[in-house]
Structure 1
Amino acid sequence: MVLRAGGVVLPLRPGPVRLGPLCGRQARGLSNFYSCRFAPPGLERARDPVAAMAALARDLRRRRFDSLWFDALDEGPKDVVAEGLRRAGWIVEPFPQFGNWYLATEGLDFDAYWQQRPGALRNTGRRRSRALLEKGEGRIARFAQPEEADAAIAAYEAVYATSWQPAEPFPGYIPGLIRQGLADGEAAVWCLFIGARPVAAQIWVRRHGQATIFKLAYDQDWSRQSVGTVLTMAAMRAALADPTIREIDFGWGDDPYKQEWLPERRQRYGIAAYNPRRWVGVALAIRNLARQKIRNAMG
């Protein structure tokens, strides 16, 4: 489902929303479980983005949706979307969703970057890289060509299966992402091998000068050898030598290790909105907003 108004395009995925025995209709922004950033296309270029968003929101009320949901919005788009929804009469609930750690890289080479990292990380990276890559059987591979998709998927999935990561909720998604990303020239899979065995892997996605470390995993049997650190160090060295990359980020989440590599943080937001002219919309608003007030009152 795609709506358009005032130069703004709003792709949506309609579906059910349940509240006890009640079942209503919800439209969600076209993001998914893995999305790191979302904004309606054209929002930044629109002459009056709030008015455009309000027109879209009024259209959604006429279509009798009970609630709306948007994920992974930067602060600017979050404010525009929320204000447009309010003008159209929706009850709006913005909320902080996750942190995104990043680094602006223009004019930054690897040596300068590495000197800014914590001393413990520099020591571990230097020592383990020497042990594994210079004196050991380790080698770094980068899969970036379409014909390398099968090898990239096999290496990544072999590492993931031996890692601490939980099973993927949609097991076909990552292989499809790798295959399509390599075909489009917008993804690469980095892998550290010890002999013939892959022990660490990362998926990097890049577009419009931004590179995202989208997924990473390492074999738990090799955790003491800091194989993840060794691989990240090699991938960062290559990224900082690429003049087309202006920013590197870590995707979704505030895992403590991320700020050691990428020191800046920005907040990404979600928005829930409720239709006050629909019983399910009102019930959802009462339940969710009351729950938030109780949490705030309890500190």
Structure 2
Amino acid sequence: MVNDMDPHLTQEWFELLERTALPAGAGVTRFPVGHPEQPDACLLPMMRLPQSPWQIEALATFYSPIFGPINEVNLDVAGLREVCSRIRVDRNQPTARLDLSPLSPDGIFFATAQQALRSAGWIVGTYFRFGNWYARITHPDFTAYIDQRPSALRNTIVRASRKLERRSDFDLCIHTAPGQPLNQAIVDYATVYKQSWKRPEPYPDFIPALCRLAAARGWLRLGVMTLDQKPVASQLWLVAGDRAQIVKLAYDPAFRHLSVGTVLTARLMQFVIEQDQVKEIDYLIGDDAYKRDWTPQRRERHGIVAFNPSSPRGLALAARHCVGRLLHKPIRP
């Protein structure tokens, strides 16, 4: 049975980032922001990077589609305000800038964090991070879902699926559990990724560790397609509660003419809609054009940035941010 919490907001996720996906010298702190009787019931994971020790930021990387406190349901506003105040006035570790992202602008934490920061004396602003494409699923019926997609995509799925399924060397497996088959699937994923158009992973231990964590927690949906026992397409999805998240996808360009990536996406879509019976499919990060064919709805992820008015650097950074907003060209950190 899957956990209904977003995997990217769990203690295990943040531990995984800290263990496998941070540069050397990064310092991580989990601030207790729960209610006074149990402050550790809600934690705000933050980090300082060695290249910017004057800044404290969310424990989030390019792997992170969302950020927030661990166990947000136990968040205490007064506790959050106290932490923000302590960070601002700490002379032992001066902080000019604080950054929280990526956040849902519709989430409770987005408004609560701004309020807490302002009450603690920070100069507070916001900025756009990225678009997020998703689809609502109203019925556990893949045919009904695919009938609403563009005709060009539907035709490609039908034509390419028939062509692949006629091949005696075609195989496709969706891995969900720990064990030796998963270990081989992780190797196959890495093989496909290396052959694809994508840049090498800067932290090569992260994805294998994520796959094993996800398998242990029941989140994993790792699809691998092979032809003649050669892996040609692979995708990493996570399913928690009623939501499927598309984390990573890659295919071997030598097999582009067979639309192997499209067929694998369709099979995983069918699996999560009919087997997992999810209510939402989420492409997570970015406005890539192909995503709207599969997931026609869009929302945004934003960031909160706060500047310390007691710090000359903080005031200079605040002025830079405000000028960017006035010019309608927000200056990214």
TM-score, length of structure 1 as denominator length: 0.89
Supply the AA of the counterpart residue of 2:98: L
| Segment drifting more, 63-72 vs 214-223 | 63-72
Residue aligned with 1:146, SS: coil
Supply the AA of the counterpart residue of 1:174: I
Q: Which residue in 1 is equivalent to 2:11?
A: none
Supply the AA of the counterpart residue of 1:269: H
Structure 1 residue 89: Cα displacement: 1.6
State the superposition RMSD in angstroms: 2.1
1:227 aligns with 2:260: yes
- Per-residue CA deviation, residues 128-162 of structure 1 (Å, 9 max, x unaligned), is 00000234532211122211332121110111111
Structure 1 residue 260: Cα displacement: 0.6
Structure 1 residue 246: Cα displacement: 2.5
Q: Which residue in 2 is equivalent to 1:70?
A: 100
Structure 1 residue 163: Cα displacement: 0.8
User: Retained in 2: the 8 A contact 1:52–1:84?
Assistant: no
| Segment drifting more, 216-225 vs 274-283 | 274-283
1:5 aligns with 2:33: yes
Supply the AA of the counterpart residue of 1:59: R
Separation (CA, whole Å) in 2 of partners of 1:136 and 1:274: 62
Greater share of strand residues, 1 or 2? 1
Counterpart of 1:41 (choices 43, 63, 70) is 70
Q: How does 1:116-195 map to 2 (within 5 A)?
A: 116-135=148-167, 137-147=169-179, 148-195=181-228
Count, aligned residues:
290
Structure 2: stretches of 5+ with no match in the other structure: 1-28, 36-41
Residue aligned with 2:204, SS: coil
Residue aligned with 1:221, SS: helix
Q: Which residue in 2 is equivalent to 1:264?
A: 297
- Per-residue CA deviation, residues 11-62 of structure 1 (Å, 9 max, x unaligned), is 21133454xxxxx52221122220111112344554x64x443333112213
Separation (CA, whole Å) in 2 of partners of 1:292 and 1:16: 28
Residue aligned with 1:98, SS: strand
User: Retained in 2: the 8 A contact 1:16–1:26?
Assistant: no
| Pair 62,69 (structure 1): closer, same or farther in 2 beyond 3 Å | same
TM-score, length of structure 2 as denominator length: 0.80
- % identical aligned pairs: 36
Structure 1: stretches of 5+ with no match in the other structure: 19-23
| Segment drifting more, 202-211 vs 287-296 | 287-296
Residue aligned with 2:54, SS: strand
Separation (CA, whole Å) in 1 of partners of 2:320 and 2:50: 17
| Segment drifting more, 65-74 vs 229-238 | 65-74
Separation (CA, whole Å) in 1 of partners of 2:311 and 2:51: 13
| Segment drifting more, 210-219 vs 274-283 | 274-283
Q: Which residue in 2 is equivalent to 1:57?
A: 84
Separation (CA, whole Å) in 2 of partners of 1:32 and 1:208: 24
User: Retained in 1: the 8 A contact 2:140–2:277?
Assistant: no
1:32 aligns with 2:66: no
Separation (CA, whole Å) in 2 of partners of 1:101 and 1:15: 30
Supply the AA of the counterpart residue of 1:9: L
User: Retained in 2: the 8 A contact 1:58–1:88?
Assistant: yes
Q: Which residue in 1 is equivalent to 2:236?
A: 203
Structure 1 residue 215: Cα displacement: 0.2
Residue aligned with 2:257, SS: helix
Residue aligned with 1:103, SS: strand
Structure 1 residue 244: Cα displacement: 5.0
Q: Which residue in 1 is equivalent to 2:129?
A: 97
Separation (CA, whole Å) in 1 of partners of 2:264 and 2:246: 12
